[in-house]
Amino acid sequence: MEEEFDLEPGSVLYLPRGTVHAATSTDTASLHLILGVHPVLLPAILGEAVRDLAEDDEALRRGLPIGFASDEGRRREAERMIEGLPEAVRTRLTPRELTDRAVKGAVSIAPPVLRGHLTDLDRPGRLLLVHTLVREGLLTVG
């Protein structure tokens, strides 16, 4: 579904996380400001922690029995292998360690580096046709 909105000066439009969007100005310079919140997601923290554990624990690196998808006996063997893993992982990954990993992930999300991003907002209208304005890899001839 595609929708178009015309906002007035001072208006705010909320778009939920992950909404694909594009903002353009119709006739004057405009500021398109995105305020993003980067959540630290449990699956990412758990996945990284289990991968790290697997480097040290051979049991976490074992493959399931060949043929488990089509042989009922091998499927039960795979289930027994998997059965003890949650307890083994839980005892080796304490809530404190997982929280420390989450903190590390949260502080590693760096803010963008802004270098004069707003200084050229009204300049293209004053440039001659022979001038070229290069911004962040985009080429605009004005």
Domain region containing 77: 42-107
Would residue 103 count as lying in a domain?
yes
CA 87 to chain centre: 29
CB 75 within 8 A of CB 94: no
pLDDT of residue 120: 57
* Partners of 49 in beta bridges: none
Would residue 23 count as lying in a domain?
no
Would residue 15 count as lying in a domain?
no
Number of domains in the chain: 1
pLDDT tens digits, one per residue of 21-33:
888 887 777 777 7
Computed over every residue of the chain, the mean pLDDT equals: 78
Would residue 58 count as lying in a domain?
yes
Would residue 24 count as lying in a domain?
no
Would residue 116 count as lying in a domain?
no
CB 78 within 8 A of CB 66: no
3-state SS assignment for residue 12: coil
- Crossing angle of helices 95-107 and 42-56, in 10° steps, is 120
DSSP 26: S
pLDDT tens digits, one per residue of 105-131:
787 766 666 666 666 555 555 544 444
Other beta carbons within 10 angstroms of residue 36's beta carbon come to 7
CB under 8 Å to 78, separation ≥6 — which residues? 64, 65, 68
Would residue 92 count as lying in a domain?
yes
Low-confidence ranges of the chain (pLDDT < 70): 109-142
